[in-house]
Chains A and B, each alone.
Chain A
């Protein structure tokens, strides 16, 4: 890392050419190790749960994905607020990268939640408070990504996204409360998404290692997405410069030959 820094300082163009660095490689390595541990313990070594049976193995995946998604959405919200305050590209890119990762993890959460539901309840979907809240939140953040995808001046686009990022996070507790009351009239909460305090040693180990693996993968993806976004911005700047240069050369072809 230090060598690249020295090189980039001495050369004219300091722009990085990839999204990896020594830091992300180490982080990725840790994530991989914890993933392997989580798979081995979660699928093979830990015993089935007394109440949930083998379906507990889905929960080893479900809890990390939902935690990672919430972490990503919190990062989006904080970045949105910081963007409106500081107005820097860093916060805009961080917020939109985190929103993308959050939507990814949330979609996975809903799918593994539905699979758990199919095994446990016999149906993929039940109007259970957490599932319902998740579905509403997922669509809210898909809206964020839809606005993000609309081509616009970077400052305009960043402001739009920051406003949606703030509005969406404020809505989370309200949706949660409304859905909780709504379903609370008909049925109690389910165990999905909670860590049982009675959990045994290897089960607990599987749960925590998968939780760490999930969060590491989330952060690793986030860093890469952020850097990819940064490079995309530079590439579009470069494309504009190039196009300007070409137009200039078209108007005076002689200057191009001279150089």
Chain B
């Protein structure tokens, strides 16, 4: 049925389109990133920087900030598609739904990884965190972000056409991402040498999560585009 290329070329096309839009509109850099840094500051106001709580809780605070920013990024990413019947146009374009899904996920992952890179610097400066175990940290960031984007794209597309999407998306998405928050936080604690347990088992759990949701999303995106 698909007249254009395969799933992968569709994915590349959609991802490039999203990244181009982001480069031009600069919503991520202009709005989401300042919001994320603001959250880091708010945590500092709430938790008194002198008592050492910030330093102890850095991995958790970092990932909570990433989750909040991911909700905003997702809303932006799918609000683009929901306007002017673009989702219908995508459906009629002959592109494979799995390709569209993987393209959205790729663009989201790249945007969120860039955001995380800046946030890591923010945490290092604001919370005085020293980073160790860089390979593990990198693996955890990549796998967790893939999972967030993979699960998020399914619910982002589902909520996009609903009038109550702003309130509904966090309600649907955040409990789903609870295991990502747990695994990413604990894994980072290991890489910051706060926990003795091997961090790679957390990375493996994040990998399984990402794999499950990417597979599920690739299959569910067709009914999602056609009916939901």
Chain A: residues with CB nearer than 8 A to chain B?
84, 136-137, 139-140, 142-143, 146-147, 150, 155-156, 158-160, 162-164, 166-168, 170-171, 174-175, 177-179, 181-182, 185
Contacts and interface: CB of A to CB of B under 8 A. Distances in A.
Interface of B: 151, 154-155, 158, 162, 164, 168, 171-172, 175-176, 178-179, 182-183, 186, 195, 197, 201-202, 205, 208-209, 212-213, 216, 220, 223-224, 226-228
Contact of A167 (B151, B182, B226, B227): B151
Contacts of A155: 227
Contacts of A150: 162, 164, 168
B205 A181 contact: yes
B223 A163 contact: yes
B205 A163 contact: no
A142 B155 CA distance: 15
Contacts of A159: 223-224, 226-228
A163 B228 contact: yes
The A interface, classified by DSSP as helix, strand, loop or mixed, is: helix
B57 to A, nearest CB: 15
A142 B171 contact: yes
B220 A181 contact: no
Nearest to A155: B227
A234 to B, nearest CB: 22
Contact of A177 (B151, B155, B158, B205): B205
B171 A181 contact: no
B172 A174 contact: no
B183 A178 contact: yes
7 contacts: A140-B175, A156-B228, A166-B216, A167-B216, A175-B178, A179-B182, A182-B186
Given A139-B175, A143-B175, A159-B227, A164 B164 contact: no
B176 A185 contact: no
Given A143-B172, A170-B212, A174-B209, 17 more contacts: A140-B172, A140-B175, A142-B171, A146-B171, A147-B162, A150-B162, A156-B228, A158-B227, A163-B223, A164-B172, A167-B213, A168-B176, A174-B179, A175-B179, A177-B179, A178-B179, A185-B186
